Amino acid sequence: MIEEPGLPITTVALGEPVNPANAPRPSNDSERLVFRQLYETLVRIDCMGRVVPGLASSWRRSIDGQTWIVTLPPGARFSDGSPVAASAVLALWSRDGVGGDLQPHVNRLVQSIISVDDDTLAILLRNPRVDAPYALAHTDLALAKPVSGAAWPLGTRSAHVTSDRASTTITTAAGTSIRFLAPRGDPRDLLDESVDLLITRDRAALDYAATLPPFQSVPLAWQRTQVLLTPGRARTSPSLSEEARQTLARDAVRGEARNAVGPFWWQGQSDCEIAPPRASELGWRSSGRVVYDATDGAARDLAERLVGLDRRIYQRATGLTGEALALARRRGGDAGYVMSFDGHPLDPCRELQVVMERTPWLDPETIVPLVDIRMRAIVRRGHSGIVSEGDGGLRIAGADDQR
């Protein structure tokens, strides 16, 4: 991301709390950043969209063209030194831990997996792409070995992790360490300390960083698309014009935003197996609320703008989190839901299935794209070693495997 060589990143400021119980599947951007440094997938996608080795050293298609034959390197180990054999991958991905039925999050991406020998796996993906096994780079398939009594599961990088309320520290076998500072009320406070990296959309923090000579601001990829999900919306209803989306991005959303740019991954998924939308539990009776994720500032701005634009349909904006949000979204009894989608998922079909599970009343053809948003990395000058990957994740060189 930063071309010039420089000092390694040693202190990183986080915007959200990190919960080890979620590892290796992140629930927010901060977890995405920390987990990426600890847990590997079999392959990775580089910033050019190419599949590159992750934990696996090589992969090829089987003779029948249906299955991916993935080879693990002989020296692959978990951070406690135990070997990562094909049977270990099988055990981690299965429900019973010995290679039976696949775990639900694995099952969405993988149809079957067979251990060919100690180092080789035969994997049949649900959405086979002829050119490359992109789905294997999904964080749902990152390898993490639970250890009884330990907060953090073991990863396959040779790194040790400790955490307390104030920070999470990753120390590699080579002795380098990266400290991730827990979020504060105001991210600018972290810039006043000795952080090397802060990833944020907070405009006040970005404006402040712009006035601080030791920092530079680097834009990350347009990674999230904010969309409006409307119960009972007809396919024939007019979508927002590009100009209207542009106005939303400019006037409604604080922080960096642009009009949502197509093509959108949820459109034209005719080959994807999804259940047909079913009527809302409340029969399209609207509460008048526009519901948004209360932890998502851009979603709040958009929901409030919808209320500001048409109060007869959208009477009030309501921020919800956790179970309350999931329940409201599942029931579909509100005027609309402003949600954040991954802009470029590795497996669009799998992503759509997840969306439909959480929003069973939704007809994907009625999703209204609103705006794209992106974060910025505020990096201390003279520091480098941050690699942006194809799925929007960031790898920090200091935490890299020293294998």
Partner 1 sequence: MSLRTRLLLAFAVVVLIPIALLAFGLRQEMTRRLTDEYQLRVNSVVGVIREDLSRESAGIDDRLMSLESALVNDNRFRLAAVAGVESEREYLLDYAGTAMRLTGLSMLQIEDGDERIISSGHFRNEHGRVESRLTTALANARGGVALVTARSADREFLALARARPFAIGGRTFTLIGGIVVDEGFLARLARDRAIVVSLIYPGGEVSTVRLPSTVRLKPDTTATTRETMNPAAVGELQLPLIKTDAGAPLEVVEARLQVTQPLTPLRALVRVVLWE
Rule CB under 8 A: say whether 286 interacts with partner 1.
no
Choices 11-19, 54-62, 315-323, 369-377; region in contact with partner 1 by CB under 8 A: 315-323
Rounded least distance, CB 291 to partner 1, Å: 11
- The three-state secondary structure class of 275 is coil
End-to-end CA distance of the chain: 23
Q: Which of 60, 95, 129, 311 binds partner 1 (CB under 8 A)?
A: 311
Site for partner 1 in 240-269 (CB under 8 A): 250-252, 254
Rounded least distance, CB 29 to partner 1, Å: 23
Rule CB under 8 A: say whether 324 interacts with partner 1.
no
Q: Which is nearer to partner 1, 161 or 307 (CB)?
A: 307
Task: Tell me how many residues contact partner 1 (CB under 8 A).
Answer: 16
How far is Cα 350 from Cα 216, in angstroms, rounded to an integer?
A: 37
Q: Which is nearer to partner 1, 68 or 292 (CB)?
A: 292
Rule CB under 8 A: say whether 301 interacts with partner 1.
yes
Rule CB under 8 A: say whether 373 interacts with partner 1.
no
Cβ(106)–Cβ(140) below 8 Å = yes
User: What is the full DSSP assignment across 187-246?
Assistant: HHHHHHTT-SEEEE--HHHHHHHHT-TTEEEEE----EEEEEE-TT--TTSPPPPHHHHH
Rule CB under 8 A: say whether 371 interacts with partner 1.
no
Choices 9-17, 66-74, 309-317, 369-377; region in contact with partner 1 by CB under 8 A: 309-317
Two tokens at 282? 């409340």
Two tokens at 281? 């539990």
Rounded least distance, CB 13 to partner 1, Å: 24
Rule CB under 8 A: say whether 316 interacts with partner 1.
yes
Rule CB under 8 A: say whether 298 interacts with partner 1.
no
Alpha carbon 323 to chain centroid, angstroms = 19
Rule CB under 8 A: say whether 304 interacts with partner 1.
yes
Q: Which is nearer to partner 1, 301 or 400 (CB)?
A: 301
Cβ(370)–Cβ(257) below 8 Å = no
Rounded least distance, CB 209 to partner 1, Å: 17
Rule CB under 8 A: say whether 201 interacts with partner 1.
no
How far is Cα 157 from Cα 44, in angstroms, rounded to an integer?
A: 14
Cβ(279)–Cβ(323) below 8 Å = no
Rounded least distance, CB 311 to partner 1, Å: 4
How far is Cα 114 from Cα 211, in angstroms, rounded to an integer?
A: 56
> Which amino acid belongs to residue 203?
R
How far is Cα 6 from Cα 187, in angstroms, rounded to an integer?
A: 24
Rounded least distance, CB 182 to partner 1, Å: 27
How far is Cα 31 from Cα 19, in angstroms, rounded to an integer?
A: 7
**Positions in the binding site for partner 1 (CB under 8 A):** 250-252, 254, 301, 303-305, 307-309, 311-312, 316-318
